[in-house]
Amino acid sequence: MQVYLDNAATTPIDPRVIEVMVDALQNNFGNPSSIHGHGRQVKSIVERARKTIANLLHASPSEIFFTSGGTEADNMAIVRSIEDFKLSHAITSPIEHHAVLHTLEEMEKLGKIHLDILNVDAEGNIDLVHLEELLAKNPRTLVSIMHANNELGNITDLQKVSELCQQYNAIFHSDTVQTMGHYPHDLSTLKIDFITGAGHKFHGPKGVGFLYVNGKNKIKPMIYGGAQERNMRGGTENVYGIVGLAKALEISYEEMEEHQNYIQSLKDYMKESLLNEIPDVRFNGVTEASKSLYTVLNVSLPCTNISDMLLFNLDINGISASGGSACSSGSDIGSHVLSGIGADPKRPSVRFSFSKNNTKEEIDFVVQKLKELCSK
């Protein structure tokens, strides 16, 4: 049996998404920047996709900018905020995706900002009291906090963070890559400056994403060279990716409740099975359903004797997952997220992440293989 449980890394593309992309590939080859009929036809397809995404998020089409993915979108939000709003301070957490952490660290190295790192507890929850203390000292700052952690699954209450940022006049950016297409985002009620999305996290194509820029914010481009994206991102648009991205997000919203219920049941089933089959199994991050991604379960295992080979052993048994252990003292190898919450570096951890395509039979197979590996 071949089992794919690494959906937080990327998801299989939905056949309905492939269908609209193939149609665009076959029938719409014009350059959307060209003024002739072929170009205008393709331009209209891009703008329909933009409108679809904006409507789903309760935003304006003028606030949606297409990018090559979540990393570019995060970089654009962070760098342009710091440069264009003349910010000299930023706040983030130690468990952010590297698209955020590395960008902020580089800005600090360049002398652009002073970077403060928030406290997090042993489950990976950010300390909102600490956040307010930092904001009070540096009221004009950039706050970059992800909506849900890609390794642990923890969900941050964006409304609470937003209220603090408004109170202290801070710019608020959230990496929403892991929740986009899995949870609703209503940008008519959430006061936020920037959020990001990547198509391949919700059964769309790779290499395409978007940045939402609140209409009150005016920033400069990151990529120059053309007037595309309303002069915000030079370069010919990834038309077929954009079409697929919009279709994937549309399907995700239509089927969201059904998939959430189904995938949550798989996660609960796996958690219960592991507790029954493997002594001293533990879970990293918050496991309470309302505060954790239904797509992610991070498992800490007692089989320290095969810590370095666990993922390899899963792979040769046909199981695709990801993870590792916390970084050991003096070593850069391992997960900065697990290190950030003080996880035991001797215990191997595996992130299992689910999609609508997984089954209970697959879960049974994986649990049995884990039991065998941990009993050696």
Transcribe 317-356 into DSSP letters.
Answer: TTEE-EEE-BPPTT---SBHHHHHTT--TTS-EEEEE--T
Hey, which residues does 117 pair with through a beta bridge?
92
Residue type, 29: F
User: Residues of the chain with pLDDT > 90: what percent?
Assistant: 89
327 classed as catalytic: yes
Kindly state the DSSP code that residue 306 receives in the 8-state scheme. Answer: G
The mean predicted confidence, pLDDT, of the chain is 94
Axis crossing angle, helix 128-137 with helix 158-167, rounded to the nearest 10: 20
Measure the CA–CA gap between 360 and 376, rounded to whole angstroms: 25
Nearest Cα neighbor of 229 from 47, 38, 58, 71 is 47
* The two domains 3-11+255-374 and 15-254 share their CATH topology (first three levels equal): no
Total Cβ atoms within 10 A of residue 45: 22
Residue with tokens 């918050």: 286
pLDDT one-digit tens code per residue, 220-241: 999 999 999 999 999 999 999 9
pLDDT one-digit tens code per residue, 42-88: 999 999 999 999 999 999 999 999 999 999 999 999 999 999 999 99
pLDDT, position 280: 93
Band of residue 333 on the pLDDT scale cut at 50, 70, 90: low
Pairing of strands 3-4, 319-320: parallel
Pairing of strands 194-198, 171-174: parallel
Q: Which of 165, 303, 327, 374 is catalytic?
A: 327
Give the least confident one: 94-103, 155-164, 326-335, 352-361: 326-335
Give Cα 132 to chain centroid, integer Å. 24
**Radius of gyration over every alpha carbon of the chain, rounded to an integer in angstroms:** 21
Q: Which two tokens stand for residue 363?
A: 């879960």
Band of residue 329 on the pLDDT scale cut at 50, 70, 90: very low
Q: Given a cut of 50, is residue 330 above it in pLDDT?
A: no
**Helix H segments across the chain?**
15-27, 37-57, 70-84, 98-109, 128-137, 158-167, 228-231, 239-254, 256-277, 310-316, 336-340, 360-374
| E strand map for 218-341 | 282-284, 296-300, 319-320, 322-324
Band of residue 346 on the pLDDT scale cut at 50, 70, 90: confident
Measure the CA–CA gap between 256 and 202, rounded to whole angstroms: 11
Measure the CA–CA gap between 70 and 52, rounded to whole angstroms: 19
Pairing of strands 296-300, 349-353: antiparallel
pLDDT, position 235: 96
SS3 189: coil
pLDDT one-digit tens code per residue, 170-219: 999 999 999 999 999 999 999 999 999 999 999 999 999 999 999 999 99
**Where are the chain's structural domains?**
3-11+255-374, 15-254
Q: Which two tokens stand for residue 170?
A: 């801070």
pLDDT, position 317: 95
Q: Given a cut of 80, is residue 325 above it in pLDDT?
A: no
Q: Given a cut of 60, is residue 332 above it in pLDDT?
A: no
Q: Which helix (H) or strand (E) holds 289?
A: none
Pick 334 or 255 by higher pLDDT: 255
Total Cβ atoms within 10 A of residue 149: 31
Band of residue 305 on the pLDDT scale cut at 50, 70, 90: confident
What is the total residue count of the chain?
A: 376
pLDDT, position 327: 46
Q: Which fold has domain 15-254?
A: Aspartate Aminotransferase; domain 2 (3.40.640)
Measure the CA–CA gap between 66 and 210, rounded to whole angstroms: 4
pLDDT, position 234: 96
Top CATH class of 3-11+255-374 equals alpha beta
